[in-house]
Amino acid sequence: MDFSFYDDFSGHYIIYSDEKIKDNYELNMIKNNKIEHLLTTTVKRMDSELEIYYNSLSMSSCSDYIKSNKIEYEHVKVFVENIKKLCESLEEYLLNINHVVIDEKLIFIDEEKRYIEFLYNPFEIGDFTEGIKQIISSILPSINHDDQATVLLTYGLMEALEEQSVTVESLCAVVKSVEEELRIKNINKAYYDDLIVDNTSQNLQSEEIEADGKKYAERRIRIKEVVTGKIEELIRKEKRTHNKKKYKERPVYQIEDMSKISGK
């Protein structure tokens, strides 16, 4: 397939030129309808020959996106979801899925909308399933291998695509299976996290009780010291008072009585 590229103020165009282009049912369907997940298509006549213009607007090609991004679980999942919706759209308009061009340079992504558009060429036929397999293979080096979900999904899709009877439903089943596995793991993780939190909470509570016990014991010691000090001070004060009182009660002798005491 020979494609050329052209840009102007209205968009970025992929142009397909071939002498075998002629009006037919499929060409009329794609040029007269805005079919979901297919690039907007117009047909122009140049020098007595027809050319098909596909407008990718400002979307990024799949190849450029793969080069500049690490592929995560959500990217792969969105790709499968878009393929499923593409198949539904083609079925609605009675279009052959094998006319969809599966080439990473000719698949366009709107990341913000999580939306992918494909190029439909009524005059070339390929193998849609084989094309998807090549796309998944091409992203393997770019996936986040540290993320278990991404690895499970990507390699699960590759395994499914090896089957001869693979369908879009088979690919969706892989996504569903991986999500179920992740859901179960998250439930288990949440359960064990709760156990850890509970144990940590109990340990902290025990530490707080122990700390409070130490504070209480220290406080009792301080109170005891204060009380003991006050009691001792009271005892000393009482002794001083008692001694003074005893001293006052001793008999006081006059000078003239001293002779009596001395016997003179």
CATH number of the domain residue 29 falls in: 1.10.510
Instruction: Give percent of the chain with pLDDT exceeding 90.
Output: 55
Q: Predicted confidence band at 37 (pLDDT cuts at 50, 70, 90)?
A: very high
- Does 256 map to a domain? no
pLDDT value for 58:
82
Q: Is the pLDDT of residue 248 over 80?
A: no
| Count of domains for the chain | 1
CB atoms within 10 A of CB 126: 16
Q: Is the pLDDT of residue 135 over 60?
A: yes
State the average pLDDT over residues 140-160: 93
- Does 63 map to a domain? yes
Measuring CA to CA, how many Å separate 192 from each of 21, 142, 178, 183?
63, 32, 21, 14
State the average pLDDT over residues 234-251: 57
Cβ(179)–Cβ(81) below 8 Å:
no
User: Using CB atoms within 10 A of its CB, is residue 16 exposed (0-12), middle (13-18) or buried (19+)?
Assistant: buried
- Does 209 map to a domain? no
pLDDT value for 211:
59
pLDDT value for 253:
46
- Show the domain range for 47: 3-166
Q: Is the pLDDT of residue 43 over 80?
A: yes
Q: Is the pLDDT of residue 258 over 50?
A: no
Q: Predicted confidence band at 152 (pLDDT cuts at 50, 70, 90)?
A: very high
Residue at token pair 């390929």: 126
- Does 76 map to a domain? yes
Write b or e for each residue in 147-167: b if 16 or more Cβ atoms lie within 10 A of its Cβ, otherwise e. eebbbbbbebbeebbeeeebe
State the average pLDDT over residues 206-223: 57
Q: Predicted confidence band at 191 (pLDDT cuts at 50, 70, 90)?
A: low
Instruction: Kindly tell me the sign of the dihedral angle through the C-alpha atoms of 164, 169, 175, 181.
Output: negative
- Does 211 map to a domain? no
Tell which wins on pLDDT, 3 or 191. Answer: 3
pLDDT value for 26:
96
Q: Is the pLDDT of residue 256 over 70?
A: no
- Cα–Cα distance, 50 to 53 (Å, whole number): 10
State the average pLDDT over residues 139-152: 93
Mean pLDDT computed over every residue of the chain: 81
- Does 254 map to a domain? no
- Does 171 map to a domain? no
Length of the chain, in residues:
264
pLDDT value for 262:
47
Q: Is the pLDDT of residue 218 over 90?
A: no
Q: Is the pLDDT of residue 111 over 70?
A: yes
- Cα–Cα distance, 132 to 152 (Å, whole number): 17
CB atoms within 10 A of CB 64: 14
What angle, 0 to 180 degrees and rounded to 10, lies between the N-to-C axes of helices 128-139 and 73-92?
A: 170
